[in-house]
Amino acid sequence: MATSASETAPGEDAALFKLLDHIAVELAQEYVRLMEAAAETEPPAHSDTGAGLR
């Protein structure tokens, strides 16, 4: 009995895989950008002189 395509994982559709992988790359780039932006705005956790703890 044939199985419906909707009842299996995406098949060997190269164009679809390329599209999904492209989305993943864009998401990863945005993730890196957000993490870098967060690191820039984070106050220093502590310092030896106590600066930044107030």
Partner 1 sequence: MAPGRSFTLSELARDLNAPQHRLIHLCEKGVIAPDVEDARGRGSSRLFSARNLLEFAIALRLRRAMLPVAAAGAALRVLRAFEGRLQRELPGFSLPESLREDRAPDLRIIVSDGSTIYFSLGRPGGETKVFGGVSLDQITGDKPASMKAATIAAMPAGKGAGANGFGGPEGSRFVRLELSVTEIARDLPLD
Give me the residues that bind partner 1 (CB under 8 A), please: 4-11, 13, 15-28, 30-32, 34-35, 38, 42
In whole angstroms, what is the distance from residue 8 CA to residue 39 CA?
41
Could you tell me the CA-to-CA distances from 37 to 19, 44, 46 in Å, in that order? Answer: 27, 14, 20
Tell me the closest approach of the beta carbon of residue 43 to partner 1, in angstroms. 13
In whole angstroms, what is the distance from residue 33 CA to residue 50 CA?
30
Return the number of the residue (38 or 50) whose C-beta is nearest partner 1.
38
Return the number of the residue (42 or 48) whose C-beta is nearest partner 1.
42
Tell me the closest approach of the beta carbon of residue 2 to partner 1, in angstroms. 12
